[in-house]
Amino acid sequence: MQNFDDIRPYRDSEVPDVISRLLKNSEFFSAITGFQFPRLKRNIPWLADKLVERWLKKKLKGISTITEVQEVIAIYVERILKTTTSGLSETGLKKLPQNRPHLFISNHRDIVMDPALVSYLLHRSVHGTVEIAIGDNLLKKEYISDLMRLNKSFIVKRSTQGREKLLASKHLSKYIHYSIEEGNNVWIAQREGRTKNGVDKTAPIILKMLHMANRDSIQKRTLKYSIDKLNIVPVSISYEYDPCAEMKARELYEIDKKGYFDKDETSDVISISDGLKGEKGNIHLSFGTEIIAIDSDPENIVMQIDKQIVLNYKLHPSNYLAYEKLQIDDPSIGPELNKLNINIKLIELKRKTFDTLYQQTAEELKPYFLRMYANPVTNKFQFEN
């Protein structure tokens, strides 16, 4: 068996030592305090850190397995759902085969919530949780790496270049195939980084990476073979409201105006925090059907994944209201709202809330904000017509 120690999730035998290391890390306490009790952290930081330290030591005492770690995490996912959403729904899980593991490929809107929701719903429906692909760009602190690997995350080495990047991709591909063969569910995003503009498209490089484990094997396996072995299931994740919408719009605006976006070291941390704490409205996850590769043409396989993700994406009133605003100014994007087969009364009930979010957005960012919400509507036209 190949050694995957540099990227794999932690094992049960490693849990006590990792937790012990976390409970000696002052940065860990400070980060948790800032997230859980920001006001107390600002006013009396030493007291806040001390209280959180005592609370965490009590909470984590006696935990010795990954399953126990994930049971604690599930409680926090439920708390987030209760305090920041109007509800979580899903379709497709009942049809998902339980006699084999799957590679779930989803659209990517939120750094932490996307895989957390997939894992939470699978766990709740007795399909088991997932191993999560996470970029090393998010693991700049030791305690963050420890936390993620305790939560069944494996590392995608994005910071490598040249030949090292090629070797890292092959290593990653072999690990994903190995994990599936061992009976584990796996989650990866359909592209590197979150979608900022609401256009969900699978990057062909993802398929190339998944094939690397078999492409150079003695048997010279085909891409079709690699895809069929992984039992790929596309997943569509839709949030009624995106807590990071204005941040994403700012990034798109600056790229348009300057050709680049200056991303500082705190950007990802802020996105994670806002994604967890911000209001999300209704959330829906649609689990598709297994991808069966007709041939080894990557474009055909990408098209299958994209078609399921786009058509299964649940549109919320926020999507239709943004589409309406754009359609009035540019009728070429599609038919008027009242000509679509939708519940107009439900949309009207949410108009005031969406208009408030829109008006609170900086003026120069409003076009990007609207397209972000409206594109999932227009995306469907390409597959429905």
Domain residue limits, the chain:
67-312, 315-385
Q: At CA 245, angle to CA 239 and CA 251, rounded to 5? A: 140
Report the side by side order of strands in the sheet with 281-287.
85-91, 281-287, 232-239, 103-106, 185-189, 130-135, 153-156
Instruction: Identify the CATH class of 67-312.
Output: alpha beta
pLDDT in tens, the chain (385 residues): 478 999 999 999 999 999 999 998 888 888 888 777 778 778 887 787 888 888 888 888 889 999 999 998 999 899 999 999 999 999 999 999 989 999 999 999 999 999 999 999 999 888 889 999 999 999 988 999 999 999 999 999 998 889 999 999 999 999 999 999 999 999 999 999 999 999 999 999 999 999 999 876 656 789 999 999 999 999 999 999 999 999 999 999 999 999 999 888 788 888 998 999 999 999 999 999 999 999 989 999 999 999 999 999 999 999 999 999 999 999 999 999 989 989 999 999 999 999 999 999 999 999 999 999 999 999 999 887 6
Record the pTM: 0.94
Query: What is the Cα–Cα distance from 310 to 376, expressed in whole angstroms?
Result: 7
Rg for the chain, CA atoms, rounded = 22
* pLDDT score recorded for residue 218: 56
145: its two tokens = 């790496």
Query: What is the Cα–Cα distance from 48 to 149, expressed in whole angstroms?
Result: 26
* pLDDT score recorded for residue 34: 77
* pLDDT score recorded for residue 216: 65
* pLDDT score recorded for residue 265: 75
Name the residue type at position 50. K
Are 7 and 61 a contacting pair, CB within 8 Å?
Answer: no
* pLDDT score recorded for residue 219: 65
Are 134 and 156 a contacting pair, CB within 8 Å?
Answer: yes
Contacts of 179 (CB under 8 A, 6+ apart): 101, 131, 154, 186
